[in-house]
Structure 1
Amino acid sequence: MASHNRFRSTAPRALRDPDALRVRLEAVRTEPAVAPLNDWVEALRGRLGEDESVPWFDPASGGIEARSLLLLEAPGQKSVGAEAALRRTGSGIISADNDDPTAQNCWTLRQEAGLPYELAVHWNIVPWYLGTADRIAAPGRTEIQRAAPFLHEVISMLPALEVVVPMGRKAQAGWAAYQERYAPKVHTLPTWHPSPRVFASRPAARQEILDVLRETAGLLGCA
């Protein structure tokens, strides 16, 4: 756990700082907890013919030691690297420290829930970016089905996994299909997508997500 301390952020959006982002990117292939996952990302890019539209796992997260998985839909623009197709300019990492409001909500809610980042890892039902340079797209059934084997490869690299939190309807649908096919032995705690749009349209969503993350922390013995 000590190795995670050097990445620990004290406020949301830490990766807006170029120096913090540089340190994080330098560790994606060397931090022991995420090196196997990011070796897999590199191989997946080659298999798909994709570039940085498949972001890295976050060295600040629990990586292969994670006991919880916060599972969203697909990478956002702020997760996709500057060298990706369409010249997007995000961090290149799936991280709660990214410089966007959804990541900020994840950071704040996890902090309030008492769920340490080193016990969690963030990922997506579909691991590659969907949409255009101007607008992200939600995954459809075709993308979810195409991505299912890749999600299984990720889950197989998380031997300590106990709790999965699918966030949003698309993530829940993708995870339900995955459960039906692979029957993972984990707790599933579905909840809302942590986007500002959801919070604006459903005032109770924030508290419901917080309750789920607190339940996750309790199952892991953190609360």
Structure 2
Amino acid sequence: MMAPDRQPAHVAPLNRFAAVLRARHGDVPDFDPLDGGIAARLLVLLETPGPASVSTGTTSRDNPTGTARNLTRFLDGLPLSRWDTVIWNAVPWRLPRRGGKLGRPTRMDIEAAARDLPALLALLPRVQVVVLAGRVAQSLRPALDAARPDLTVIAIPHPSPTHLAASPAARERLFGEASRREIAVAIADEAG
């Protein structure tokens, strides 16, 4: 986590939000300062922080994981600059490992995350499109619709290599033209 006095202005409000969550829920990574922060037009919600965020301290497409590489490949196919995007997790706190595997969010985790979502969205006034990556993120759709009914919400498969290897249809949905076109049209409609 970056020292409060060293925060870039475009992510400082978001990282203050992360600090509030950290005080309540434990280990919550910061936002990536290389993304657009509060200036972003596209919010990508993944599921939960992965183990790489422990070493990097951020939720980032640059984390050294297959999920981050797949997410980068997906985002690189969009007609947006990195500055137009911000990446976060539906349940933004690290969950305890169970049986050597990453912990899965409980219903209480998801309900708590849904309650925190309006505060996050209030910090992202330029966001036009939210991409929900995976089932956990997609479970927040009602909270998104209630907090910001003006948003275009698009569901995609989670970009984890394990998930994509098990489902050719998920791989096609993530890397095919349909998802990218849907996002491009939504961004263009909002800009026009």
TM-score (norm 1): 0.75
Structure 1 unmatched ranges of 5 or more? 1-23, 81-89
- Give the paired residue count: 186
Q: 2:115 aligns with which of 141, 144, 149?
A: 149
**One-letter code of the match for 2:11?**
V
Q: Conserved in 2, the CA contact under 8 Å of 1:28 and 1:38?
A: no
**One-letter code of the match for 2:110?**
I
Identity, in percent, stands at 37
Per the TM alignment, residue 26 of structure 1 is displaced from its structure 2 partner at its CA by 7.2
- Residue by residue, what CA displacement relative to the aligned partner does 1:2-48 show, whole Å, maximum 9, x if unpaired? xxxxxxxxxxxxxxxxxxxxxx95799521210111122123322x1
Does 2:8 align with 1:40? no
**One-letter code of the match for 1:98?**
N
Per the TM alignment, residue 132 of structure 1 is displaced from its structure 2 partner at its CA by 2.1
In the other structure, the counterpart of 1:161 is 127
- Residue by residue, what CA displacement relative to the aligned partner does 1:161-215 show, whole Å, maximum 9, x if unpaired? 1001101111101x22313543531001111001111111111322312332343
CA 153–28 in structure 1, closer or farther in 2 if over 3 Å, else same: farther
Q: How does 1:88-127 map to 2 (within 5 A)?
A: 90-127=55-92
Does 2:7 align with 1:30? yes
Q: 1:74 aligns with which of 36, 45, 48?
A: 48
Moved more, 134-143 or 189-198: 134-143
Task: Let me know the Cα RMSD of the aligned residues.
Answer: 2.4
- Counterpart CA distance in 1 for 2:30 and 2:42 is 18
Q: Conserved in 2, the CA contact under 8 Å of 1:164 and 1:186?
A: yes
Q: Conserved in 2, the CA contact under 8 Å of 1:162 and 1:186?
A: yes
In the other structure, the counterpart of 1:220 is 187
SS of the counterpart of 2:45? strand
CA 95–191 in structure 1, closer or farther in 2 if over 3 Å, else same: same
Structure 2 unmatched ranges of 5 or more? none
Q: How does 1:54-65 map to 2 (within 5 A)?
A: 54-65=28-39
**One-letter code of the match for 2:135?**
R
In the other structure, the counterpart of 2:103 is 137
Query: Once superposed, which parts of structure 1, at least 4 consecutive aligned residues long, lie more than 6 Å away?
Result: none
**One-letter code of the match for 1:186?**
L
Does 2:149 align with 1:184? yes
Q: Conserved in 1, the CA contact under 8 Å of 2:118 and 2:144?
A: no
CA 28–181 in structure 1, closer or farther in 2 if over 3 Å, else same: farther
TM-score (norm 2): 0.86
SS of the counterpart of 1:220? helix
- Counterpart CA distance in 2 for 1:28 and 1:137 is 33
- Counterpart CA distance in 2 for 1:184 and 1:127 is 22
- Counterpart CA distance in 1 for 2:149 and 2:81 is 23
